[in-house]
Protein backbone atom coordinates (compact mmCIF):
# COMPACT_ATOMS: atom_id res chain seq x y z
CA UNK A 1 0.00 0.00 0.00
CA UNK A 2 1.30 3.44 -0.93
CA UNK A 3 1.96 5.89 1.86
CA UNK A 4 -0.37 8.44 0.27
CA UNK A 5 -3.14 5.84 0.20
CA UNK A 6 -2.59 5.05 3.87
CA UNK A 7 -2.75 8.76 4.74
CA UNK A 8 -6.00 9.01 2.79
CA UNK A 9 -7.47 6.07 4.72
CA UNK A 10 -6.44 7.59 8.05
CA UNK A 11 -7.92 10.96 7.09
CA UNK A 12 -11.20 9.37 5.98
CA UNK A 13 -11.37 7.19 9.09
CA UNK A 14 -10.96 10.18 11.41
CA UNK A 15 -13.49 12.19 9.40
CA UNK A 16 -16.00 9.35 9.68
CA UNK A 17 -15.82 9.56 13.49
CA UNK A 18 -16.98 13.19 13.37
CA UNK A 19 -19.28 12.72 10.36
CA UNK A 20 -21.28 10.07 12.18
CA UNK A 21 -21.41 12.08 15.38
CA UNK A 22 -24.18 10.46 17.41
CA UNK A 23 -23.35 6.91 16.40
CA UNK A 24 -19.67 7.50 17.18
CA UNK A 25 -20.66 9.05 20.50
CA UNK A 26 -22.78 6.01 21.29
CA UNK A 27 -19.87 3.69 20.49
CA UNK A 28 -17.43 5.71 22.60
CA UNK A 29 -20.01 5.89 25.41
CA UNK A 30 -20.45 2.11 25.44
CA UNK A 31 -16.68 1.70 25.62
CA UNK A 32 -16.39 4.18 28.51
CA UNK A 33 -19.19 2.64 30.57
CA UNK A 34 -18.20 -0.99 29.96
CA UNK A 35 -14.48 -0.49 30.51
CA UNK A 36 -15.06 1.71 33.55
CA UNK A 37 -16.98 -1.07 35.30
CA UNK A 38 -14.28 -3.55 34.26
CA UNK A 39 -11.54 -1.20 35.49
CA UNK A 40 -13.19 -0.74 38.88
CA UNK A 41 -13.30 -4.49 39.43
CA UNK A 42 -9.70 -4.83 38.21
CA UNK A 43 -8.57 -2.32 40.83
CA UNK A 44 -10.66 -4.09 43.46
CA UNK A 45 -9.16 -7.46 42.53
CA UNK A 46 -5.61 -6.05 42.63
CA UNK A 47 -6.20 -4.59 46.09
CA UNK A 48 -7.75 -7.81 47.37
CA UNK A 49 -4.64 -9.67 46.18
CA UNK A 50 -2.49 -7.05 47.91
CA UNK A 51 -4.35 -7.51 51.20
CA UNK A 52 -4.15 -11.29 50.89
CA UNK A 53 -0.40 -11.05 50.25
CA UNK A 54 -0.04 -8.81 53.31
CA UNK A 55 -1.76 -11.45 55.41
CA UNK A 56 0.48 -14.17 53.96
CA UNK A 57 3.61 -12.16 54.78
CA UNK A 58 2.56 -11.87 58.44
CA UNK A 59 2.16 -15.61 58.93
CA UNK A 60 5.07 -17.12 60.85
CA UNK A 61 5.76 -20.10 63.07
CA UNK A 62 6.79 -19.63 66.69
CA UNK A 63 8.84 -22.54 68.03
CA UNK A 64 8.98 -22.38 71.83
CA UNK A 65 11.97 -24.08 73.49
CA UNK A 66 12.71 -25.70 76.83
CA UNK A 67 14.74 -23.48 79.16
CA UNK A 68 17.62 -25.85 79.90
CA UNK A 69 18.60 -27.24 76.49
CA UNK A 70 21.87 -25.28 76.14
CA UNK A 71 23.37 -23.22 73.34
CA UNK A 72 24.65 -26.19 71.34
CA UNK A 73 21.15 -27.67 71.11
CA UNK A 74 19.76 -24.25 70.12
CA UNK A 75 22.33 -24.00 67.31
CA UNK A 76 21.51 -27.54 66.15
CA UNK A 77 17.78 -26.83 66.07
CA UNK A 78 18.32 -23.58 64.19
CA UNK A 79 20.35 -25.44 61.56
CA UNK A 80 17.79 -28.25 61.21
CA UNK A 81 14.86 -25.86 60.93
CA UNK A 82 16.74 -23.77 58.38
CA UNK A 83 17.33 -26.88 56.26
CA UNK A 84 13.58 -27.45 55.78
CA UNK A 85 12.79 -26.64 52.16
CA UNK A 86 9.77 -24.45 52.98
CA UNK A 87 11.67 -22.30 55.49
CA UNK A 88 12.91 -18.91 54.32
CA UNK A 89 14.39 -17.49 57.52
CA UNK A 90 14.95 -18.59 61.13
CA UNK A 91 15.42 -16.00 63.89
CA UNK A 92 16.30 -16.90 67.47
CA UNK A 93 14.55 -14.74 70.09
CA UNK A 94 15.78 -15.13 73.65
CA UNK A 95 13.34 -14.83 76.52
CA UNK A 96 14.80 -11.42 77.42
CA UNK A 97 14.28 -10.20 73.87
CA UNK A 98 10.77 -11.66 73.93
CA UNK A 99 9.97 -9.73 77.11
CA UNK A 100 11.25 -6.52 75.52
CA UNK A 101 9.14 -7.15 72.40
CA UNK A 102 6.09 -7.65 74.62
CA UNK A 103 6.86 -4.44 76.48
CA UNK A 104 7.12 -2.50 73.21
CA UNK A 105 3.77 -3.88 72.02
CA UNK A 106 1.94 -2.72 75.16
CA UNK A 107 0.47 0.73 75.74
CA UNK A 108 2.49 3.14 77.86
CA UNK A 109 0.07 3.00 80.80
CA UNK A 110 0.41 -0.78 81.24
CA UNK A 111 4.11 -1.31 80.48
CA UNK A 112 4.94 -0.96 84.15
CA UNK A 113 3.16 -4.23 84.88
CA UNK A 114 6.14 -6.09 83.38
CA UNK A 115 8.78 -4.48 85.58
CA UNK A 116 8.62 -7.27 88.16
CA UNK A 117 9.39 -9.94 85.55
CA UNK A 118 12.81 -8.64 84.53
CA UNK A 119 14.65 -10.97 86.93
CA UNK A 120 12.06 -13.79 86.89
CA UNK A 121 11.21 -13.92 83.19
CA UNK A 122 8.50 -16.54 82.59
CA UNK A 123 8.80 -16.45 78.81
CA UNK A 124 10.62 -19.26 76.95
CA UNK A 125 13.25 -18.84 74.28
CA UNK A 126 11.85 -19.30 70.80
CA UNK A 127 12.51 -19.36 67.08
CA UNK A 128 10.54 -17.17 64.69
CA UNK A 129 10.28 -19.01 61.38
CA UNK A 130 9.33 -17.33 58.08
CA UNK A 131 8.30 -19.37 55.04
CA UNK A 132 8.61 -18.92 51.30
CA UNK A 133 4.96 -19.90 50.87
CA UNK A 134 2.78 -19.02 53.86
CA UNK A 135 0.19 -21.59 52.82
CA UNK A 136 2.70 -24.35 53.64
CA UNK A 137 2.72 -23.27 57.30
CA UNK A 138 0.87 -26.34 58.60
CA UNK A 139 3.18 -28.76 56.78
CA UNK A 140 6.32 -26.93 57.93
CA UNK A 141 5.07 -26.79 61.54
CA UNK A 142 4.55 -30.57 61.57
CA UNK A 143 8.11 -31.11 60.30
CA UNK A 144 9.52 -28.89 63.06
CA UNK A 145 7.50 -30.56 65.79
CA UNK A 146 8.67 -33.95 64.51
CA UNK A 147 12.21 -33.10 65.68
CA UNK A 148 11.05 -34.01 69.20
CA UNK A 149 10.43 -37.58 68.07
CA UNK A 150 14.08 -38.12 67.13
CA UNK A 151 15.60 -36.22 70.07
CA UNK A 152 15.55 -37.73 73.56
CA UNK A 153 15.83 -34.28 75.20
CA UNK A 154 12.53 -33.13 73.68
CA UNK A 155 13.81 -29.54 73.21
CA UNK A 156 10.59 -28.12 71.73
CA UNK A 157 7.74 -27.17 74.07
CA UNK A 158 5.26 -26.29 71.34
CA UNK A 159 4.89 -24.96 67.79
CA UNK A 160 2.35 -22.18 67.28
CA UNK A 161 1.20 -20.41 64.15
CA UNK A 162 -2.49 -19.67 64.81
CA UNK A 163 -3.67 -23.19 64.12
CA UNK A 164 -7.27 -23.38 62.97
CA UNK A 165 -7.63 -19.65 62.29
CA UNK A 166 -4.86 -19.45 59.69
CA UNK A 167 -6.27 -22.30 57.61
CA UNK A 168 -9.73 -20.67 57.59
CA UNK A 169 -8.28 -17.33 56.53
CA UNK A 170 -6.33 -19.03 53.74
CA UNK A 171 -9.55 -20.58 52.45
CA UNK A 172 -11.27 -17.20 52.57
CA UNK A 173 -8.46 -15.33 50.78
CA UNK A 174 -8.16 -18.03 48.11
CA UNK A 175 -11.92 -17.93 47.54
CA UNK A 176 -11.89 -14.13 47.28
CA UNK A 177 -9.01 -14.24 44.80
CA UNK A 178 -10.77 -16.83 42.63
CA UNK A 179 -14.11 -15.01 42.74
CA UNK A 180 -12.38 -11.75 41.80
CA UNK A 181 -10.68 -13.42 38.84
CA UNK A 182 -13.97 -14.90 37.61
CA UNK A 183 -15.78 -11.55 37.96
CA UNK A 184 -13.07 -9.66 36.06
CA UNK A 185 -13.02 -12.29 33.29
CA UNK A 186 -16.82 -12.25 33.04
CA UNK A 187 -16.93 -8.45 32.90
CA UNK A 188 -14.24 -8.45 30.19
CA UNK A 189 -16.35 -10.79 28.04
CA UNK A 190 -19.47 -8.71 28.70
CA UNK A 191 -17.63 -5.50 27.82
CA UNK A 192 -16.41 -7.02 24.55
CA UNK A 193 -19.94 -8.09 23.65
CA UNK A 194 -21.58 -4.74 24.48
CA UNK A 195 -18.95 -2.62 22.78
CA UNK A 196 -18.72 -4.75 19.64
CA UNK A 197 -22.54 -4.82 19.37
CA UNK A 198 -22.72 -1.02 19.52
CA UNK A 199 -20.00 -0.66 16.88
CA UNK A 200 -21.72 -3.23 14.67
CA UNK A 201 -24.92 -1.17 14.88
CA UNK A 202 -22.92 1.87 13.81
CA UNK A 203 -21.60 0.04 10.75
CA UNK A 204 -24.99 -1.49 10.03
CA UNK A 205 -26.51 1.99 9.75
CA UNK A 206 -24.01 2.68 6.94
CA UNK A 207 -24.46 -0.52 4.97
CA UNK A 208 -25.93 1.46 2.06
CA UNK A 209 -22.76 3.54 1.88
CA UNK A 210 -20.68 0.36 1.75
CA UNK A 211 -22.91 -1.10 -0.97
CA UNK A 212 -22.60 2.00 -3.15
CA UNK A 213 -18.81 2.04 -2.82
CA UNK A 214 -18.73 -1.62 -3.77
CA UNK A 215 -20.96 -1.09 -6.83
CA UNK A 216 -18.79 1.74 -8.21
CA UNK A 217 -15.75 -0.54 -8.19
CA UNK A 218 -14.05 0.07 -4.84
CA UNK A 219 -12.00 -2.90 -3.64
CA UNK A 220 -12.68 -4.59 -0.35
CA UNK A 221 -9.46 -3.26 1.19
CA UNK A 222 -10.23 0.27 -0.01
CA UNK A 223 -13.60 0.10 1.76
CA UNK A 224 -12.36 -1.72 4.82
CA UNK A 225 -9.39 0.50 5.80
CA UNK A 226 -11.30 3.71 6.73
CA UNK A 227 -13.63 1.64 8.91
CA UNK A 228 -10.58 -0.04 10.45
CA UNK A 229 -9.09 3.36 11.29
CA UNK A 230 -12.45 4.54 12.60
CA UNK A 231 -12.60 1.54 14.95
CA UNK A 232 -9.08 2.27 16.17
CA UNK A 233 -9.92 5.94 16.87
CA UNK A 234 -13.17 5.09 18.68
CA UNK A 235 -11.45 2.39 20.74
CA UNK A 236 -8.50 4.59 21.72
CA UNK A 237 -10.63 7.64 22.58
CA UNK A 238 -13.12 5.63 24.64
CA UNK A 239 -10.50 3.64 26.54
CA UNK A 240 -8.30 6.73 27.09
CA UNK A 241 -11.23 8.65 28.62
CA UNK A 242 -12.02 5.65 30.82
CA UNK A 243 -8.41 5.24 31.93
CA UNK A 244 -8.01 8.92 32.77
CA UNK A 245 -11.24 9.08 34.80
CA UNK A 246 -10.58 5.79 36.56
CA UNK A 247 -7.00 6.51 37.60
CA UNK A 248 -7.85 10.07 38.66
CA UNK A 249 -10.63 8.73 40.88
CA UNK A 250 -8.33 6.03 42.25
CA UNK A 251 -5.65 8.60 43.14
CA UNK A 252 -8.26 10.61 45.07
CA UNK A 253 -9.39 7.45 46.84
CA UNK A 254 -5.80 6.72 47.91
CA UNK A 255 -5.43 10.27 49.23
CA UNK A 256 -8.67 10.06 51.24
CA UNK A 257 -7.65 6.60 52.49
CA UNK A 258 -4.43 7.98 53.99
CA UNK A 259 -6.15 11.12 55.27
CA UNK A 260 -8.56 8.94 57.24
CA UNK A 261 -5.58 7.25 58.90
CA UNK A 262 -6.23 3.76 57.52
CA UNK A 263 -2.51 3.00 57.28
CA UNK A 264 -2.90 -0.64 58.31
CA UNK A 265 -4.93 -1.34 55.16
CA UNK A 266 -2.37 -0.64 52.48
CA UNK A 267 -3.72 0.03 48.99
CA UNK A 268 -1.83 -0.76 45.81
CA UNK A 269 0.05 2.34 44.70
CA UNK A 270 -0.97 4.23 41.58
CA UNK A 271 2.52 3.69 40.15
CA UNK A 272 1.93 -0.07 40.27
CA UNK A 273 -1.60 -0.21 38.85
CA UNK A 274 -1.44 2.72 36.44
CA UNK A 275 0.37 1.01 33.59
CA UNK A 276 -1.27 -2.36 34.19
CA UNK A 277 -4.88 -1.15 34.33
CA UNK A 278 -4.41 1.68 31.83
CA UNK A 279 -2.53 -0.50 29.33
CA UNK A 280 -5.08 -3.30 29.64
CA UNK A 281 -8.07 -0.99 29.12
CA UNK A 282 -6.53 0.88 26.18
CA UNK A 283 -5.43 -2.34 24.50
CA UNK A 284 -8.80 -4.00 25.08
CA UNK A 285 -10.79 -0.96 23.93
CA UNK A 286 -8.70 -0.58 20.77
CA UNK A 287 -8.88 -4.29 20.00
CA UNK A 288 -12.66 -4.38 20.43
CA UNK A 289 -13.07 -1.24 18.32
CA UNK A 290 -11.06 -2.74 15.46
CA UNK A 291 -12.66 -6.16 15.78
CA UNK A 292 -16.21 -4.78 15.81
CA UNK A 293 -15.55 -2.62 12.74
CA UNK A 294 -13.77 -5.30 10.71
CA UNK A 295 -16.31 -8.04 11.43
CA UNK A 296 -19.27 -5.77 10.69
CA UNK A 297 -17.85 -4.38 7.45
CA UNK A 298 -16.99 -7.85 6.18
CA UNK A 299 -20.65 -8.86 6.32
CA UNK A 300 -21.61 -6.07 3.96
CA UNK A 301 -18.79 -6.42 1.41
CA UNK A 302 -20.59 -9.17 -0.51
CA UNK A 303 -22.70 -7.09 -2.90
- Output the DSSP codes for the chain: --HHHHHHHHHHHHHHHHHTHHHHHHHHHHHHHHHHHHHHHHHHHHHHHHHHHHHHHH--EEEEE-TTS-HHHHHHHHHHHHTSTTEEEEEEE-HHHHHHHHHHHS-GGGGGGGGGGSSS--PPPEEEEEESSGGGHHHHHHHHHGGGGG-TT--EEEEES-TTHHHHHHHHHHHHHHHHHHHHHHHHHHHHHHHHHHHHHHHHTTHHHHHHHHHTT--HHHHHHHHHHHHHHHHHHHHHHHHHHHHHHHHHHHHHHHHTT-TTSPPPPHHHHHHHHHHHHHHHHHHHHHHHHHHHHHHT---
The reported pTM is 0.65
The tens-digit pLDDT sequence of the chain (303 residues) is 566 666 665 676 667 667 766 777 777 787 788 888 888 888 888 888 887 777 777 788 888 888 778 888 888 888 888 898 888 888 888 877 777 766 666 655 555 555 555 556 677 888 889 888 888 888 888 888 888 888 777 888 888 887 777 778 778 777 877 887 787 777 777 766 766 676 666 666 666 766 777 677 767 677 777 777 877 888 888 888 988 998 888 888 877 765 444 445 677 777 888 888 888 888 888 887 777 777 666 665 554
Domain boundaries of the chain, sorted by first residue: 3-55+168-299, 60-160
- Please state which CATH number belongs to domain 60-160: 3.30.70.3040
Amino acid sequence: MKFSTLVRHIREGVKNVFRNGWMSFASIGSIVVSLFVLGVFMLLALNVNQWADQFDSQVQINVFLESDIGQSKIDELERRIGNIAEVKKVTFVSKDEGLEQLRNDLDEDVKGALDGYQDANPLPDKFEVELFDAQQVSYAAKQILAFNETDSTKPIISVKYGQGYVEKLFRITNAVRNVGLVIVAGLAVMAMFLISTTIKMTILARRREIGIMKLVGATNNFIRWPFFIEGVVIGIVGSAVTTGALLYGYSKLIDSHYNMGLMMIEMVGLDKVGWLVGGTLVALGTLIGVWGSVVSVRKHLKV
